[in-house]
Amino acid sequence: MIVVPTETPIIEELNSCYADVEKLFLYYQGIIDAGCAHFRLPSSEGVIFFDAFNLINGTFKEKNSLLRGKAAIDLLFEEARSKNVMISIYEIPPEKIAFWANVANAEDLYKDLSTEFTDLEGLIRKMASDRLTGYIEVTFNADDVAVLFFHNGQMIGSISAESKWQLVRTEKFQRDLVEKSRKLGAILNVRRILIEQMEREKANAPSPAQPQTKEKAPIAPPKPVPELPVQEKKPRELNIREMLQYLMLIYDKFISGNKRIRTDFDTLLKRKFVEKVEKYDFLDPFTEEFKYANGKIEFSGRVDDARLATGLLECLQEIAVENDMQTWLDKSLWPLREKYTNEIAFLKIQF
């Protein structure tokens, strides 16, 4: 089952032909705290849930097949690159993103209960008393299904074929559904989402790089960017400047959308250039050999792109450390790593 909470639309029906899907996610991760993207094709659909730091989960549905997790995310990205996909993005409150992102991972609690023996209204009361986090699925026939969602025993919304799978929050919907189930009969399935267990497993996952202490580990100094030998020549197929533009855009969107960082990206960058001016004079903001605006780099200096990358990467890595961006970057740079494998290997970058 694919569930798309459509209550707060941010952008709707964007054709993937006019968007770079990777940059689209980076942009909206920078301006909303959490959300989902609905991908719609003629014979399939999918959804990706995200917060400011991660692509949390994905689901892809085509006819009778269902794909979840990273495999679904990768497939949706590929579909958006090669086909005309309509993409809509919706904002989700951060405290509810774990619930909606894991609806597809729900497990059976009660299965195939008939309303001949189980009253839907009584089942709703029991699930509220048991503080269910999950949902009750009410099936009248293959084309007539309704779902009631619960979070800690509180009903937070419903979807149905009648509502065209739009999320609704009215008591009337619940009352009408109970009456309909008594009149026509239905099959009830109850599924639960183990959010607390998922969070505990994530928190307890071994991480040898993290010290076992309650105190915050000291921030490590930025990894040095090695200088390249003068005689080393870059292959013609490398596009270092394009990679740098992509990386700058990632930083720009994160910083501009992060409420904890009071300074804009352009100011942070220029301050760092001033600090490094003796080492990298071509980054001197007062000579304006290097300019970055609207996701584009303009450079009129005489050094090659490899030397430019060395200076710029050192500045960006220090900005990441000083603004506690490293954990987010570790999980958010995979599209760049995949796209610019050759450039990263040539420059010997260690993100």
DSSP one-letter string for 179-245:
HHHHHH--EEEEEE--HHHHHHHHHHS--TTS-SSSSPPPPPPPPPPPPPPTT----TT--HHHHHH
Q: At what angle do helices 265-275 and 305-322 cross, to 10 degrees?
A: 110
- pLDDT reported for residue 11: 86
Under a CB-based contact definition with an 8 Å cutoff, are residues 70 and 58 in contact?
A: yes
Share of the chain above pLDDT 90, in %: 36
Is there a single domain that holds both residue 257 and residue 294? yes
Based on the fold, state whether residues 79 and 125 are members of the same structural domain: no
Pair (96, 142) in one structural domain:
no
Contact predicate 134/156, CB 8 Å: no
pLDDT band at 207 (very low <50, low <70, confident <90, very high): very low
Residue 215 lies inside a defined structural domain of this protein:
no
The DSSP secondary-structure symbol of 164 reads T
Structure tokens at 94: 């951060």
**7 vs 23: CA distance, rounded Å:** 24
Mean pLDDT of 15-42: 88
105 in helix, strand or coil?
Answer: helix
Is 232 a residue whose pLDDT tops 50? no
pLDDT over threshold 70, residue 217: no
Q: Are residues 86 and 120 in the same domain?
A: no
The whole-angstrom separation of Cα 84 and Cα 18 is 9
Distance CA 150, CA 155 (A): 4
Q: Is the pTM here over 0.75, yes or no?
A: no
Q: How many domains does the chain have?
A: 3
Taking residues 325-329, report their average pLDDT: 75
Among 103, 118, 143, where does a domain finish? 103
Where does a domain end: 52, 73, 103?
Answer: 103
**In a 3-state reduction of DSSP, which class is residue 339?**
helix
Whether 87 maps to a domain, the answer reads yes
Confidence of residue 161 (pLDDT cuts 50, 70, 90): confident
Q: What is the pLDDT of residue 296?
A: 84
Looking at residue 257, its pLDDT comes to 73
User: Per-residue confidence at 351, pLDDT binned at 50, 70, 90?
Assistant: low
The pLDDT > 70 percentage for the chain reads 86
Among 54, 81, 103, the domain-final residue is 103
**pLDDT, tens digit (0-9, with 9 covering 90-100), for 48-98:** 999 888 899 999 998 888 898 999 999 999 999 888 899 999 999 888 898
Mean pLDDT of 182-211: 66
Chain center to CA of 59: 13
Output DSSP code: residue 168: B
Cα separation, 79 vs 82, in Å, equals 5
Flag whether pLDDT at 191 surpasses 90: yes
Same domain, 36 and 134: no
Q: Read off the pLDDT of each residue in 273-291 and give the average, rounded to a whole number.
A: 91
Instruction: Classify residue 205: in a domain, yes or no.
Output: no
In a domain, 2, yes or no: no
Q: Tell me, yes or no, whether 203 lies in a domain.
A: no
pLDDT at 218 over 60: no
Q: Does one domain contain both 248 and 259?
A: yes
Looking at the fold, whether 133 and 234 belong to one and the same domain comes out as no
- Say whether 74 sits in a helix, a strand or coil: helix
Instruction: Say if CB 186 and CB 112 are below 8 A apart.
Output: no
Same domain, 161 and 258: no
Same domain, 82 and 153: no
Answer with the residue of higher pLDDT: 127 or 207. 127
Q: Give the domain range for residue 271.
A: 221-347
Q: Which of 8-22, 193-207, 231-245, 278-292 has the lowest mean pLDDT?
A: 193-207
Give yes or no: residues 287 and 268 share one domain: yes
- Phi, then psi, of 177 in degrees rounded to 5: -70, -40
Residue 342 and residue 273 in one domain: yes
Per the domain annotation, does 206 fall within a domain? no
Is residue 207 domain-resident? no
| Residue 159 near residue 146, CB atoms below 8 Å | yes
pLDDT of 228 strictly over 60: no
Residue 208 within a domain: no
Query: For the residues 118-144, what does the mean pLDDT come to?
Result: 91
Same-domain check for residues 308 and 244 = yes
Measured at the CA of 107, the angle between CA 153 and CA 60, to 5 degrees, comes to 110
What average pLDDT does the segment 34-59 reach? 91
- Asked if the model's pLDDT at residue 333 lies above 80, the reply is no
Residue 105 · residue 193 · CB < 8 Å: yes
Please give the average per-residue pLDDT across 93-119, as a whole number. 89
In three-state secondary structure terms, 266 is: helix
